[in-house]
């Protein structure tokens, strides 16, 4: 394993050196190492270039996959999770499977929300504008002109902040959906979703125990109820974003 890691590091270093030669017209017979003039600066530029290419590649995925396609895929995965759980309350059902399904359903929801928002703001300029203005109101970070140049515009700054958001926090979900929509998201499922999110945290980080050290006694029925609640809430989220994204543009007379 160690030799493999070393080989990969050597390959990455060779790729960086070749990039330096190509970008700065450094002859092949000149050694490039830490003692080469401007080496650290070239490394910084190279790393920035890699990050930019990775970012552009990830954003291209959202251009190629419409938000409704992402949502439909999420619904299909939720149905697959339902199929993994029996509804006959079998006392011998593997508790670990139930916990995994419960936790993974929240993870799928989190990914779906972030992905459909990114896909929408990439496709619809008015949604991107809402995202930028909304984040400008809530973020505490201050960005300089230098930052704007580095990120390639305020839109990319907004997307960077969006990427850092975690959507298993239901408060954050509501914040972003309300940011993008003209009407506030219906909160009829909010309290139940908070409970599901908190229990998911207990399964992932406390081996199924709450803060008091008491273990959740998870059953098949509880998992089905959680999956149903996540599905219902996701419909509200999707419809709210869809309604705002597909809304006809206002015409001034």
**H-type alpha helices, the chain:** 2-24, 39-64, 67-84, 95-123, 125-138, 145-151, 154-163, 170-180, 190-205, 220-245
What's the angle, vertex CA 227, arms to CA 77 and CA 233, rounded to 5?
95
What's the angle, vertex CA 200, arms to CA 235 and CA 237, rounded to 5?
15
Q: pLDDT class for 97, splitting at 50, 70, 90? A: confident
Q: Tokens in use for 187?
A: 């909160």
d(CA 161, CA 241): 19
Is the CA virtual torsion 118, 120, 124, 127 positive or negative?
negative
Q: Is the pLDDT of residue 253 over 50?
A: no
d(CA 91, CA 219): 9
DSSP letters spanning 198-228 = HHHHHHHHSTTB-TTSPBP---HHHHHHHHH
pLDDT tens string 57-91: 667 888 888 999 999 999 999 999 998 886 555 65
Backbone angles phi, psi at 206, to 5 degrees: -125, 20
Number of Cβ within a 10 Å radius of residue 161: 17
- SS3 string, 67-110, reads HHHHHHHHHHHHHHHHHHCCCCCCCCCCHHHHHHHHHHHHHHHH
Bridge partners for 215 per DSSP: 209
Q: pLDDT class for 237, splitting at 50, 70, 90? A: very high
pLDDT tens string 151-190: 777 887 788 888 777 787 899 999 999 999 988 888 899 9
Q: pLDDT class for 252, splitting at 50, 70, 90? A: very low
Bridge partners for 209 per DSSP: 215
The pTM of this model reads 0.75
pLDDT at 36: 83
């Amino acid at each position: 394993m160690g030799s493999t890691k070393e080989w990969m590091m050597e390959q990455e270093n060779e790729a960086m050196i070749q990039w330096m030669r190509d970008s700065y017209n450094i002859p092949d017979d000149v050694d490039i190492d830490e003692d080469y003039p401007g080496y650290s600066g070239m490394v910084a530029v190279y790393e920035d270039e890699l990050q930019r290419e990775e970012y552009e590649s990830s954003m291209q995925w959202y251009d190629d996959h419409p938000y409704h396609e992402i949502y439909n895929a999420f619904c299909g995965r939720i149905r697959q999770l339902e199929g993994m759980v029996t509804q006959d309350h079998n006392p011998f059902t593997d508790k670990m499977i139930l916990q995994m399904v419960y936790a993974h359903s929240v993870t799928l929801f989190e990914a779906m929300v972030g992905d459909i928002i990114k896909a929408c703001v990439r496709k619809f300029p008015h949604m991107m504008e809402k995202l930028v203005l909304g984040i400008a109101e809530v973020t505490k970070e201050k960005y300089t002109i230098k930052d704007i140049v580095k990120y390639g515009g305020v839109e990319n700054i907004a997307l960077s902040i969006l990427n850092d958001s975690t959507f298993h926090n239901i408060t954050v979900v509501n914040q972003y959906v309300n940011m993008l929509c003209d009407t506030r998201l219906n909160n009829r499922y909010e309290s139940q979703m908070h409970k599901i999110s908190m229990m998911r945290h207990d399964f992932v980080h406390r081996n199924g125990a709450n803060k008091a050290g008491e273990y959740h006694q998870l059953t098949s029925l509880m998992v089905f109820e959680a999956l149903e609640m996540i599905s219902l809430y996701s419909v509200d989220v999707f419809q709210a974003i869809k309604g705002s994204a597909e809304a006809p543009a206002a015409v001034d007379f």
